[in-house]
Structure 1
Amino acid sequence: MPQVAGELSHLLGRAVTYHHRTTFDHRVHLMKAGSSEMVAELLLELDLIFKEGILSETTATVGELLGRPARSVSAWLSENLQDFTR
């Protein structure tokens, strides 16, 4: 996520900062935002899966489903920049 914040900073021309939360702090935040304990735990487990790279395998699925190559994060951010300027 720090890399995404860096790319957004570059594209927007202003600083975008990523603030990492501990698992405990993230759970508290999710619960205060209205998530049930079950949903909060599910989201925390998904975060762990992504963090550990369990799903980091590169496949052709996106291209097969969309009929075009997958875009890079940088390209996606550039194409959707208006959503980050509000």
Structure 2
Amino acid sequence: MYASPGLTEREVAVLKVWLGCDSKVEVGVRLHIALGTVNTHLTRIRDKYSRVGRAAPTKAALVARALQDGIVKLDDL
């Protein structure tokens, strides 16, 4: 069992969309939020994972964490 980072619903939503997109700009367009807001959410997500000892400095690492936590499934990617 992995330590939960305690992501908010919005952080989970941003993470799911970002994992399925090619760019952060596309995430912003899909969620109707500014690029800066996308970056803020991703920074907070990474910080939360780091605080529980599960660093995720790259998109690939976030994919691994999201899979481990059941946020996404391989079929979603």
TM-score where L is the length of structure 1:
0.29
User: Which structure has more RCO (C-alpha within 8 Å, separation ≥ 6)?
Assistant: 2
TM-score where L is the length of structure 2:
0.32
